[in-house]
Amino acid sequence: MKRVENDAFYEYIKRYDPDSENHLVGEVDYHLVCGDAPYKGIASHRETLRSVFDWLVKQSIKNIENARILFGEDYADQLHPLVYDIDKAQPSPLDPKAFFYCPNIVKTGCNGRVWYDSEWKPDDGNIGTAVPYWYALMEPVHGRRNTPEDFKKVNALLFPNDTDALDIYEWTTDWSDYFDDGHEWYGACCWSVYDKTESRYAIMLVSATD
């Protein structure tokens, strides 16, 4: 697996989070990976996830060392590298039409709150669980709220040859402490998408709290 470091998609989404080292739109963190072996369905998705989390582990170690320099030994010693066990992750296939569903805005309040014509709504019953892709992109915890038009533009650039033939899996999120923040409140998601027209995977991760 080869991590994509430079891509027009990454340049485009800087407008949504220009100061971040991550590739975020809303609460969705995107990782693009090119396959270097024949596609083998779920096994290939799992190996792609493994490669992304190997990279995240290395990043977490770098962050600890940076914290040691900036804030001292005592602070850095309270931090720990990211841990994960990809073998515990369980996939479920998703229909592209359902995954890329995007509701319409039906009302916007004077305080900026938005109402959608969607049956899914955040409430006490789904705290810390998976959220829909559209919600993760359009309704971040803090900062810019994105529109249905943003959702469609981002995905049109990410998957330029349409989305009907994509292979998409949603993965459980009980196998890494990466998802701990999301389990606390906003939600935790892990999606892997294979675009055979590009021989490329998109790993989309969500984990946020207030």
DSSP class of residue 206 equals E
Q: Average pLDDT of the chain?
A: 91
98 Cβ partners below 8 Å, 6+ apart?
Answer: none
27-74 confidence digits (pLDDT tens): 999 999 998 889 999 999 999 999 999 999 998 888 778 777 767 877
With 80 as the cut, is the pLDDT of residue 208 above it? yes
**φ, ψ dihedrals at 83, nearest 5°:** -125, 150
Nearest to 134 by CA among 182, 161, 97: 97
pLDDT band for position 202 (50/70/90)?
A: very high
Helix ranges (H only) for the chain are 8-13, 42-71, 73-76, 96-99, 133-138, 148-158, 180-184
With 90 as the cut, is the pLDDT of residue 18 above it? no
pLDDT band for position 76 (50/70/90)?
A: low
113 vs 97, more confident: 97
pLDDT of residue 62: 85
189 Cβ partners below 8 Å, 6+ apart?
Answer: 130, 131, 133, 136, 170, 173, 182, 204, 205, 206, 207
Give the Cα separation of 191 and 84 in Å (integer). Answer: 16
What is the average pLDDT across 191-207?
Answer: 96
Q: How far is CA 189 from CA 34, 159, 175, 181, 205, in A?
A: 21, 20, 12, 11, 6
pLDDT of residue 77: 67
Give the Cα separation of 16 and 144 in Å (integer). Answer: 8
153-196 confidence digits (pLDDT tens): 999 999 999 888 899 999 999 999 999 999 999 999 999 999 99
Q: Is the pTM here over 0.85, yes or no?
A: yes
SS3 of 127, please?
Answer: coil
What is the average pLDDT across 10-27?
Answer: 89
pLDDT of residue 33: 97
Query: In the chain, pLDDT over 70 holds for what percent of residues?
Result: 98
Cβ distance 14 to 144 under 8 Å?
no
